[in-house]
Structure formats: structure tokens, C-alpha cells
Structure 1
Amino acid sequence: MHTMLKAALFDDEFIVLKGLIKLIDWQSCGVELVATAKDGLSALEAVREHKPDIVLTDIRMPGMNGLELIETIREELPDTKCIVFSGYNEFDYVKRALTLGVIDYLEKPITLAKIKEGIQKAVERIETQSQVSRLKHEWEQELLAKKVKDLVLQGGEDAVSHWRGQSGMEAAQVVGVTVAASSEDVFTMTGDSSYKLIPVRVDKEHVAVIFHYDLNDEAWKDELLAKEQATIGSGCTYRSPAEAALSYKEALRALRYGKYLEDQGWTRFEELGDPSAIDPHLSDREEEVLFQLRIGDKPSLMNTLDNFLVEFKKERLEPEQAEMELLRLVLLGLEAAKETGGNHAEIKPPGYLPQMELRRMQTMEEMAAWLRKEMEGIIDWMLRIRNKAKHAAVEKAIEYIDSHFGRDLTQQEVADHVAMNVTYFSLLFKEQMGLSYIKYLTNIRMEKAKELLGEGVPVQEISERVGYYHARHFAVVFKKYTGMTPGQFRLKGKGS
């Protein structure tokens, strides 16, 4: 045991009490003597005040006898171990003491060897019980993590039911769930009265499932903001735990884009656009192709396609099934091209019928070459449109941000203002400005906050004027940006 156990000693005989206090080396027994008493009522008061781990008590005491005391201890402090001693060797006393679960029953006169043996027995029992409790807690936490992982991977009412069964009463208090993901091991179990964060490992990703008890409290956001050296993506917050799987899928997508946009920091799925944009039927391969199309990474796209085609040929699919899979990839690429806002009809001539082109092909090699050519044409067109539209669109967006940063300004609203798909806009903005939309908005807000702090404006008012409804959240962001709290920054300004 690393911490000293607490013991209390009660006996109505002054000589016995003093003798035991002096003669026993309590520390070598692994305990600290925290209380003594000569009558039962004073003993009960001491027990309630000090909550000892071990009680050594005489049976015959005025006010309340030792057995009555043990009975009360058993009700109020069931983990406390009791040792009794008495000069009366009566079977009824022994039987009742054993019924009450005493560790040892010692007859007077007590030898030091006997009492040390009794104390050691109590210490060992407590250590064993503590170890069992720890193992039980670890086992329960492991089971809970498994149920939470099932909730993330499967979603639905069955997974929720199993999670509720493992979580007990806490589950009834949950009013929402948010999932975050990182490639780094940065999440630990934490929380407060408004949320609980449970970390789980899902494949290669480290995942945090945040159960909300109060959706109006944003303390959980401070938790993620504090992981500034890691790249984190988070999904939307949903009221039903059954939708944890959707939030997880969104978190993975946000993480992927966050790595491209920020390298480090927290990217929220809401920043990437409408949650309905997630297609639950997309395969990992299709997600990868769409991602590379959107960011305009032609070498990676062509390499992904080449790797896909190698595996595709090995599968030896029926011609109709092969046609459907290749056709779906091309159609997804054309949908991604629409996000540019350009005239995507320019990519292909009127009456373009890719399914008819595929059907005319005789070999898998022809199909593979066709797919490569089609996707290369799509990304080349997207890159040309991007280069033409980039400067004007971002300039227009910056003007809008500079005029509206003092309120809740979503990336979706700014993208709508410049008539662009929000995901495409976020990538274009990063390419043009060298930093993400959210980081640019934060920089604008923090510079304005520094200016207002210098003017002596109250922190709560500054928080609201630069677009933060909660002063605590504003303070966390400000410290991350400047290395100082708003108060420290104001004092430094006065001293300069």
C-alpha cells in the first residue's frame, strides 16, 4: 500500500489504552493511529470524524458497548475492518462478533504479538479488497470501452442498449454525443458535471467519445482545444447516442481534411459543410479518390487509381459488376467537379454516355485505361477552374469575414456568399491564404480582442464583440493565441 491506513483504538481501561498506544509500533504495521476513546459514544464520534480503515475496540465500554459500536460501523462504514478484545470469554460475545464480520477476537490480557497479528490480518484483508476493487474497476472500464466502441462502429438501438446496460445510471443523464478522432494518443478519460470523455482505440485511430450531460456547457471544447500539439477532427453533436457512428464517420473526415488544412489543431466537421454531405455508402477507396480530387492532388490521385486498378484486376469481377464499380467512381468524380461552381458541362461533350463507352470495351486493360483517362480529365479541368476562380473568390470572402467576424460566422455562410461548395471553398481558401478559414477568422478575432483589451473594455463584452458567447471559451482561445490570459495581456499592456 502506498498510503498509510488509519486506525482507531477504543478501551475503557486507561492503562490498556496507554500501553497499546506506546508499545505498538503502528507505523511498522503500516497504519497511523488517528483516534482513541474510553467510552462507546466518544468512540462512535471519532469513527464518524476520522473514518478509520481499522478499529480495535474493547467489548465492555460505557455508553455503548463494542458490539453495538461495530454494528453501527458496519452500517455506516462497511469497508472498515474491526478487531475486538475482551476479558470475558463468553461464547455469545464471540458468536455475535463473528456474525458482525470482525477480523479477529482477542482475549485479555492481550499480547503484543497477538494484536500485531490481528492488525496485520486487517491490513492484508484491506489490501486484497483494494486490489480486487481495482481489478473490478479496470474490468468494468474495459467492458465500458468495448460497449462505447460498438456504439461508435455500429450505432443503432442495439448498441445503445448494451452501452446503457454497462453505463448504469450515468446513461440516463446523457443528452448528446460527440465523437472526435486523432492519429495520436492524446485522449484520456476525463470530464466534469457537464460531460464525460471516454477514449477508445478504433483501428489505427485514437477516438474520444464525449457524452454530454449539458449541451449548453462548452467545457468539452476547452478539452479539445488544449490538445494543440495534435491534429484532431470531430463530428457533429447529436442528441441520440444511436448516432455516435455518424459522428465518428464525420470525425474521420474532419481529421483527414484537418491534416491537410492545419497539420496541428482541431478541425470540426461543421467547418467542412452540411452534415448531409456524408454519404454512408462510400467506400474508403471512394472517399480517398474524392479527397484527392477536392484538394487537387493529381499525383496522389493517379497513384491511388493505379493501386486500385491492380487490386481491381485481381478480383476478376463479372463484366457487369466491373462496369458498375468503374462507372460509379467516374460519376462521383463528376459530382465533385460540380463543387467548383464552374460549368462542369465543359468536361464532357453533350450526350456523354460513359456506360455506353464502357460496354464497348472487351478487356479489363481497356477498362482500366478508360478510368485513368476519365479521372485525369476531371482533375485537370478542376485545377484550371480553381486557378481562375481562386483569387477573386477568396478576396470576396475576406471582405465578408472582416465585416462580420463579430458574430457567429460559419464557413458555410461565407461559402454561400461566394457561391461555392463549402468543402471546396475551405480547400481553396487554404491554398490561397496559407492557413485555414477557421484559423484566419480566429486571428482576426484575437487581434481585435487585443485592441479592445488595450482600451479597457471588460473581458465579457470583448468576448461577445469578437464572436464568442462564452467568456471562458474566449479566454482559452486567447491564451492559445497569445500565450497569456486576457487579464495578463491587459496588465502587460499597462506596464509597457
Structure 2
Amino acid sequence: MLKAAVFDDEFIVTEGLKKMIDWSKYGIELVGTAENGTAALSLFEECKPDIIFTDIRMPGIDGLQLVERILSRAPETQCIVFSGFNEFEYVKRAIQLGVVDYLEKPITISMIEDAINKILEKIGEQRMISSLKMKWESSQYELLQKATLDLVQVGSEVLPKWKEHFGEGSDQIIAVTVIAASSEEFLIHDNPSYRVVSIRNGSEYLHFVFHYNNDIDDLWNQLLFLPEEISYHVGSGQTYFLISDLSKSYKEALEALKYGSFLEKNGWTRYENVGSNTNLPGEALEQGEEIIFYIRTGNKQGLLQQVELFANELGAENLNREIAEREILKLVYLAMEVAKETGGDILKIKQSNYLPHVEIKEKKTKEEMLNWLCSQMEMIMNWTLDVRDTTKHAAVEKAIVYMKRNMNRDLTLQEVAEHVGMNATYFSVLFKEEMGLSYIKYVTKLRIDRAKALLKEGNKVSVVSEKVGYHSYRHFSDIFKKHTGVKPSEYKDSV
């Protein structure tokens, strides 16, 4: 409901308009009256009416001064003035101020009702225009959001189109930064030094920050002083000085967000703290890959040797604590990811929750950190071996039953591993440990043994080939001869 107020120093006018006009019929509530300009201004400040009826001549602040002050504070207010003096200068001044109507006293009910209808019509037009403007702005922003995603996914070829949607200010951009969050609760406050385009993309909430100057402290301060009790993750990419590098910052922000989420570390994670380290020696990187290989293959002795080599390489480098800590944690968490291939809950490796990123902070020197690394890797290896021992037999047994039932078709390692709920690489290692043969060799053995039995029963070679999963007769014949020394037809004739 709209609100209205009447200001006039004549009691008969204010009381008459209060009682003689059915305000509710027009969807209006009369919130008050005042007999002088000072009281009228106070009433306006308190009630914020949408419509003002005011006399020009009042004690204190006159009507035109009052209208001027009101419209300077709330330009959308609809004002109607009336006066007993039909003076051109008053009318001219009222029109300049932007009043809706100028009524000459004595005021009649029909005059007020006509003025109200005029106001309602104008308010309706303004609301329609405002609604259309909002829809247009929303549509334009959606186009900008799409163009921004295209810019990071397609590249510079869509830059002209993106600039068109970005509009004024696109040529003033000197740097770009991308922030990714796991929750819509995180917002970046507006700032004259940058413009933000925010987009929800799947489960991520992306904020593309386009800087107009080199001062990015305000942005970082918003991240640095995030409330401690937040329950979401925020990842930031690096700031780049070419719009064409927006995709780099975008990928970095997602990686930082993913890393922070994996660590269950609420708050801000910078890509600089998790990104690639060009200072790390190549030997250490290679040894890191070897460590992962030994965990997968269950080679504890090989693992411990490689961890020691990795620690020696890392210790010999003049790396600051942040880089050393980051690389050690990356290796530990990568080892944990490999350990998760067992299907067990690696986070329950200790009695309490296992939080390496907390434990490493307690180490004061690089030597302590490296000793801690060795102990963690051995602990993860021991846990992995224990889980393997308890799950290996049942998983392989289940796999063999499935393989025997489906040997008449192409049967991949990935399919069988998924059937038993394991990572394919991990399953292949377990299978060889348990059966003494690789997956491929065992499948081949199953098929050849089954082919022998079918040939003994008198089945045609072509039929046997299909039943054991070889849909090329020649390929079946070659494989069969390689494993038995004779062709399928010769084997059939010999039994």
C-alpha cells in the first residue's frame, strides 16, 4: 500500500482531506499531517511517504523549500502543491522542482481525487518502466555471464563479443583475478577499483574480478578477513595482466578450491600455496612418481628407499618453509589418494581423524618435516598392506566368477574392477598377487581351457571361438596354437 501525507497550516484543510477522502479506495494509507514545514520534514523522515500534498505558504520552511529538500533525498516521491495565490513564479518554480500537479485553493474533493488518479497513473508507469529496466538489466547480465564463461572455455576469439556485453569500462581493465567458492554465501563486495561478474557453474560459485587499477589490496583483505566460523571453501587464482589469461586464473582458482575442499580446510586457499613448484628438483618429482608406484604395487622396501631419496633431494634444496611444506603435503595426500583405491577409509588411519596439514605445522625445522614425511609414508603403506590382505581374496574370487560368466564377450580390466568396486590399477596388482598371473594372461588361460573343453565335446571351431570371446576365427586360432602348440581343428581331431 502506498503512503501519503498532507502538510498545510490551515486545520480545516488537513482535517478535511483526512476525513473527506477515502484513501483506502486508492490503495493509499494517510500516515500523517503537519501544520508547518519543520514538522512536515520530520514526518517525512519518519514515515517516508510516497505521496506528498503540501501548501506553499507555511510557517518555518515553505512548501517549495520542503519539496526541494524531499526530492533531493527521495527523488521518486510524488509531490502535489496547492496555494491560494495564483502567482506565475510559484507555478514556474514548482514545475522546475518536478511536482506532479499544482492546485489552486480552495481545494475540492474532486480536485484531490483527480490529482490522486494522476499520481497513480504516473506511479504505474514508473513501476512498469522500472520492471522492464530490471528485466533488461537481468538479461544483459545473463549474456555477460555466458560471454565470460565462453571467454575462459573458448579463448581470445570470443573476446570482442565479451567486450560488447561487458560494455563501458572493458578498455580500462588492466588485470584479472578469478575466485571460486563452494557456497553462494561467499560474496565479493563492490569496489570502484574493480567490477565483478559472478556465475554459478555446477557446484562452484565463480567470481571473475576485472581490475581497473593496480590496487588489489581491498580484494585480498576481503579474503584474509573471512569469518573464522564459515563452513565453505574459497580458492583464488593468480592475478594476470592480460584478459586473455583469464582462463589461467580460472583453472587455478578451481584447483585451489579443490585442494582446500580435499583438506577440509574452510576459508581461503591460494593457488600459490598449492600450484606447481618450479623450484622443486626434477629428481624429487620423479621420485614422487616412484613412491606412488610402490604404494600401488605394495612394495614397502622400494617405497621406503624412494621416500628417503625424495627427502634427501628436498632437504638439499634451499627451499623456504612454505614450498617445502606444500610439496611434502602434496606427496602425503597423493599417497592417501592411492591408498583410498583399497576401498578402506584412509582418514581413520589413526584413532582420531588424520589431518596431515595440521600435524606438519607442528614441525619446526625442515629435518623434522622430512622425518615426519618418512613416518607418514610408512604408516600409509602399512595400512594399505593390511587392507589388501583382508580384501584381496574375496575381491579376486568375485572377479573370477564374473570373468567365467562373461568370457564370451570382450571383458576389460576396467569392467571387472568396477564389478568388484576397485580402482583398475589397484585391482590388477591384487589379482596378480593372488593368482600369480596378470589379468590378461589369466583371462586368456580361462578362454583356452574352456575352448579345449568345448572342442572335446565336438563343437565346431567357429562356435567355440564365439563362445570363448574371440569373434575373429583367425585370431582365436593363433592364440590357441600359441598356448597349446596346435591349431583348434587339430586339437579337436586328436581327442
Q: Which has the larger radius of gyration?
A: 2
TM-score by length of 2: 0.49
TM-score by length of 1: 0.49
Name the structure, 1 or 2, with higher relative contact order (CA <8 Å, separation 6+): 1
